[in-house]
Every structure is written in structure tokens, then in C-alpha cells.
Amino acid sequence: MEYFEKTIRVSEDDLDDLNHVNNVRYVQWIQDISKEHWQSTAPLKVQNAVVWVVMNHNITYKSAAVLGDLIKVCTHIDQSRGATSVRIVEMYAAKTNLLLLRSKTEWCLLNKETLRPTRISDEIKSVFSKKA
């Protein structure tokens, strides 16, 4: 499977009333890295034909991040079947490698014109099954 990662520095805008990263921000980062992985990996002709939508987010929070922390965000596709795909996103404290959260998101692939579910092609599967 192909892994994709990036690093984020926690800013003041990311914090909640307890001065920890807000749960809503974590969800945004899950969405952002998923989109970035797709856009950096899938051929443009495929991106122009289909769109992904979230069916379900399951997030397990393990530890808190605070202002100034560097967070390593990693993602990969766990499995795909029919029109659905399960993507894993994990976030780690960059200094300590402590797991902050793990999410499992079920996505559905839609035809961009009809907005109807469409089977994940072998071409798409092969793009995300390359070894990192």
C-alpha cells in the first residue's frame, strides 16, 4: 500500500477552550490529507471524472496536542470494494512519535457528472497499492 504523509505545526487557531487541538480541526486535517493524497497520486483524467464523499468517520483520540507541537500526519488506503474505500489516518507527535489519534474513514466514489456511486476501477486501486 502507498503511504502519504505531511507535518503540521499547531497554531493558536487550532486550539479549543482547553488549549488542546480542537476535535473539529482534527477532522479537517483528516479531510485535508485525504484530498492531498488523492490529488497528488491519482491521474488528472481520473480526478476529473470522479469525486469522493465521506460515508463514515471513526476517530479514536489517544493524546492531546498543544500550541507549537509538530504533528506527523500519515494516511493510506486500507481496503477497497465496490464503490467504497476505507482510509486510515494516523497523527503522531513528531518529537516523541506518540500516537495522538487514529481514524478510519469510509469513502464512497461517485461519478462527477451523475453523482451516483461508481465502482473503484483497477486503475485507481493500482495507484494506491504501490509500495512507499
List pLDDT tens digits, range 1-36: 789 999 999 999 999 999 999 999 999 999 999 999
CATH architecture of 4-127: Roll (3.10)
Q: State residue 129's pLDDT score.
A: 76
Q: Using a cut of 0.85, tell me whether the model's pTM lies above it.
A: yes
pLDDT over 90 at 108, yes or no = yes
* 5: helix, strand or coil: strand
Higher pLDDT, 8 or 128: 8
102/114 Cα distance (integer angstroms):
33
The tens digit of pLDDT for each residue in 47-94 reads 999 999 999 999 999 999 999 999 999 999 999 999 999 999 999 999
How many other C-beta atoms are found inside a 10 Å radius of the C-beta of residue 59?
Answer: 15
Contact 69, 10 (CB under 8 A): yes
